[in-house]
Amino acid sequence: MKSSSPRHTALGLSLVASGLVAATALAAPGCSSDPGGTTSSGTGGGAGDPGALVKVSTASQVGVVLDEIPPAMRDKVAAGLVAKDAKFWIDRARAQINMTKYRLAFRSYYYVDGNRMQLPLPPDVKWNVALKPDAMGATKPRRTMIGTHDAVVVDYTFDSTLLTSADSPGIAEPELAKVGGSWDEPFIFPIDPELLFQRTGYACMDEGSFPPNSVDSEETAVFYDQECVAQGQASKDACHQTALPPLSCVDALDESVGKIAVKVHFERLPWDSAVADAARFGDVTNKTGADIRAGVASTLFPAPKVIYRYIPEGDCTLAEKCVGAPGWRRLLQFSSINWNIGKQTLDIGAVDTALTGMGGGDLAAHHIYEFSECHQHYHFMHYGSFTFGDQQPSNSKRGFCLQSTDRLSNNEDSPLHNPYSDCSYQGIEAGWGDNYNAGIDCQWIDVTGYDVSQGPVKNAIHEDFNPDGFLCEGTPVLDSMGKQEYEHTTFMTAKGEPVDRPKCDFMTSWDANNKRSEDVTLPALGESFVTEPCTRGQIGPLRNCGFKKQSDLEACTPGAKVNLHCTIPAGAAPQTVRLCESSQALKSGTACTQGFAIGNAVVPEAGVDLAITCPAARSAAEPGGAYSIYSSPLVDEDAAQTVTCAVVP
Domains of the chain: 45-279 (no CATH), 292-469+507-522 (no CATH), 534-647 (2.60.120)
pTM of the model: 0.91
Separation of alpha carbons 619 and 583, rounded Å: 11
Q: Please provide the size of the chain in residues.
A: 649
pLDDT value for 397: 62
pLDDT at 41 over 50: yes
Q: Phi/psi at 191 (nearest 5 deg)?
A: -65, -30
Higher pLDDT: 522 or 296? It is 522
% residues pLDDT > 90 (the chain): 71
pLDDT value for 425: 83
Q: Phi/psi at 436 (nearest 5 deg)?
A: -120, 125
pLDDT at 406 over 60: yes
- CA–chain centroid gap for 559, Å, is 35
pLDDT value for 18: 28
Tens digit of each residue's pLDDT (9 = 90 or more) over 102-146? 999 999 989 987 789 999 999 999 999 999 998 888 899 999 999
Helix (H) or strand (E) holding 501: strand 498-502
Query: Per-residue confidence at 307, pLDDT binned at 50, 70, 90?
Result: very high
pLDDT at 437 over 60: yes
Query: Per-residue confidence at 33, pLDDT binned at 50, 70, 90?
Result: very low
Separation of alpha carbons 180 and 372, rounded Å: 51
* Mean pLDDT across the chain: 88
Separation of alpha carbons 381 and 397, rounded Å: 8
| Cα→Cα distances 527→328, 452, 524, 532, 635, Å | 13, 10, 6, 8, 20
Count other C-beta atoms under 10 Å from residue 518's C-beta: 14
Q: For residues 294-315, give the mean pLDDT.
A: 85
Higher pLDDT: 517 or 129? It is 129
pLDDT value for 47: 63
Look at 10-19, 30-39, 56-65, 468-477 and tell me which has the smallest mean pLDDT: 10-19
Which amino acid is residue 16, in one-letter code? V
Tens digit of each residue's pLDDT (9 = 90 or more) over 331-345? 999 887 889 999 999
Q: Mapping DSSP to helix (H, G, I), strand (E, B) and coil, where does residue 151 land?
A: strand
Q: For residues 177-185, give the mean pLDDT.
A: 98
pLDDT value for 299: 65
% residues pLDDT > 70 (the chain): 88
pLDDT value for 212: 80
Separation of alpha carbons 22 and 14, rounded Å: 9
Q: Which of 190, 184, 191 is nearest to 264 (CA)?
A: 184
Count other C-beta atoms under 10 Å from residue 329's C-beta: 22
